[in-house]
Amino acid sequence: MPHITTDTDHQTVLTTFEVTPGTCQDLMDLLTAAYRDFISQQPGFIAAGLHVNDAQTRIANYSQWRARSDFQAMLRSDEMRARNREISALCKGFEPVMYDVVATFG
């Protein structure tokens, strides 16, 4: 499970996907399979979560990695490059962005 804290050197990645209500579930199925069958098995993977807005026009993904290089290696793999071509066909666009946790509350 994700553990959000400032006291870590883990890499946090937030990815947003712009979709239509007609493709939202199809993309969720692809993302779920990608995490279940490939991404979660990669070196450095810690945890992830998938989120969908009420209108089914956006999917947000939160993931944690041991290091930036682990995330980058997963993205550059032949397997993930092929999966990203499928993912790209179902959405208007997506962008993974790496972040550092600077404050937490609650």
Q: Which CATH number fits domain 11-99: 3.40.50.10490, 3.30.70.3040, 3.30.9.10, 3.30.70.100?
A: 3.30.70.100
Residue 7, pLDDT score: 84
Q: Is residue 69 scored above 90 in pLDDT?
A: yes
Beta bridge partners of 19: none
Contact indicator for 5, 100 with CB cutoff of 8 Å: no
Domain boundaries, the chain: 11-99
23-53 residue pLDDT tens: 999 999 999 999 999 999 999 999 999 999 9
User: Which pLDDT score, from 0 to 100, does residue 47 have?
Assistant: 96
CB-based contacts of 47, cutoff 8 Å, min separation 6: 1, 2, 3, 63, 64
